[in-house]
Every structure is written in C-alpha cells, then in structure tokens.
Amino acid sequence: MTAMLVLVTVIFYSYLSTNLFESVQSSLEIKSQYIISKYQSQDEFEKDINPSVLNSMFDTTVQIIPTTKDKLPLDKNFQDYNSNEHYFLEYTKIYPNQDKYLKLRKDITEQKNILTRLYYVMITIIVLGLVFIIIYSSFLSTKLLQPLQKLSYKFAHMNESLLQHIDTSELPKEFIGLGGSINLLMTKIQTFINYRKELFVGMAHELKTPLAVMRLKTQITLMKYKPNDKIKETLENNIAYIDNLNNMIQHVLEYGRAEGAQFEQPQRIDLIRFLAQKAEEFELLAQAKDKKFIYHFDIEHFTINIQPLLFTQIFQNFVQNALRFTPEGGLVSIDAHMDG
C-alpha cells in the first residue's frame, strides 16, 4: 500500500513537471516562428515591440543575432540554466538561408517554484498517507482480533461437560465460516462423549447379569460341600471375586450416570424447596432403618442455577453415606442457613 502511494505520487509529479516544461517549450517555438516570419533584424523587432514590455509581461527576451564562423548555434536547441537565483530556459533557432539566428530566453523561476511547492505537497501527502495507513491498519487489526479474542475467551472458560455452540450471528461475516466449523467440531466431540458414556453404561449392564448368574450358581454349588472341603473355600473365594467385580461395575455405572448428569443444562430452582422434597424421602428411609433424620432450614427461599440431576446425585451420596455409618438409634441432621 505504501509503495503504491509513493509510486502514484512520483508518476503524478513527473507527469505534471513534464507537461509544464513541454508547454513552455511549445510556447517558445510558436513565438520563434512568428518572429522569424515577420522580423529580419533586432531593430525591426524593437521598433514594433518594446522589449522591456515583453520582458515584464511575459518574462521573455528576444535577440536576433548575426552568426559568425566562430559562433554557430544549434538549431532548435533548448537549454536551461540558473543565474542569480533565477531559472531560465533558452531556445535558439537559425533563420532559414540567412546568417543569423533567433534566441529566446524565458524566465521559468515561477514554474520551478510551482514544481517545488508541488513536490513538498506530494511529500506531505505521502507522510499523511503513511500515518493514515498505520492508524487504519491498527484499527483494522484490532477489529479483526476482537472476534478471535472472543472465541479464545469462550474456549478458555468453556466447560467440557457443557459444550455450548457459538452464536454465529454475533460474529462478523468473515468469521461465520470459522464459527460454523467450530460448532461442527463441538458437535462431534459431544457425540463422542455421549458414545463413550453409553459404552460404559451398556458394558456395565451387560456384565452385571452374567455375574449375578455366576454368583447364584456358585452359592448353590457351595451348599453341597462340607465346611472343611477345599472346594468350598475356592467357591467362597470366587464369590468374593464376583462381589469385587460387581463393585467395580457399580462404580462404572455411577460414573456413567454422573457424566450424563454433567451434560444437563443448568436450571434456576428454589434450592430450599428442592432440599425439603429430597429430605422427606430420606426421612422415611431413616425410619425404616431405626435411625432419626431431621432437617431445619433458617431461610424460606434461595433461588440458584444448578443442574438438578447432578445435584441430586451429590446430595443422595452425601446423605446415604451419613445414614450408612450412623448406628441404629443415631441421628442425622441437615441444617441450611445464610452466612454473614
């Protein structure tokens, strides 16, 4: 962009300067043709035209000079020079078939000054153009980086369990394709995670049934042997191994359910009412196990955004462990209050 600006400026300046000098040269040639056709000597010319007036009005001096053997000027020759801080363009033309020539001298100082001022104007335009290009490129790069920074922020703060698609309507049209590709990638990732969860849960369910059958048959077989038989000890070990496998499978099922709950979208619910409903269910369970279960909430309402299924699993796990390790006749209490 900068090189193009400089190139255009140089071409424009060269075009103007060339046209200006060609115009001056053409003017001198026309004047020379008129003078040669009408005047044969300097005296004739000065009788008809006042040289001082010509010089003051047109910055041009005219001389009709006889030629000598020692001084033979070039025909139709242009020559520029400067003298006393003035610039001149001199044109010589020989009279046809005569021993004399015409010399016209034009003061082109004003034209030179115009070109000089034009040169400085061009330099100023280039500098201003460079400043504009720098400012505009900085603004444009910032404008283009904003969507990328926004995408980067979303990725950095994205929960891998809750992959939310990007709203492409908020993106500039240049980034809509990128946003669509990212959304497609997130869909594939989410599909893979769902397949993995289904694999874990399905595999666990498929293993639980044959293990239950194996345990039952082993228990039936165990009843046929006396307590001191070595085979009975082996069968009891098999049952223990089966129970260990069942525990492992149960953990896999819990992991699959928990992972499925993580994909649940958060909902805004009244946490106190939600806890009260769950506590009523565990109150009945505690009574069936001869244990006391009470709950007390100091506040009536507390609205929050949570994943109900995931929170239920956490709450159930917490209360079930409390009931499991509480002896008969013991007490499990749940309190809720505001801090501060």
- The better pLDDT of the pair 154, 329 is held by 329
Pick the CATH number of 2-118 from 3.30.70, 3.30.450, 2.40.128, 3.40.50: 3.30.450
Residues above pLDDT 90, as percent of the chain: 0
Taking each helix axis as running N to C, give the angle between helix 308-324 and helix 271-288, from 0 to 180 degrees, rounded to the nearest 10.
30
Domain ranges of the chain: 2-118, 158-263, 267-336
CATH fold label, 267-336: Heat Shock Protein 90 (3.30.565)
* pLDDT-wise least confident of 24-28, 149-153, 212-216, 225-229: 225-229
313 contacts 261 by C-beta, under 8 angstroms? yes
* Confidence band of 168 (pLDDT split at 50, 70, 90): confident
Q: Which of 64, 55, 60, 39 is nearest to 105 (CA)?
A: 60
Range 158-263: architecture per CATH? Orthogonal Bundle (1.10)
pLDDT at 187: 84
Q: Which helix (H) or strand (E) holds 89?
A: strand 86-94
1-29 pLDDT tens trace: 667 777 777 888 788 888 888 888 888 78
pTM: 0.42
pLDDT at 227: 63
Tell me how crowded residue 275 is: count the other CB atoms within 10 A of its CB.
17
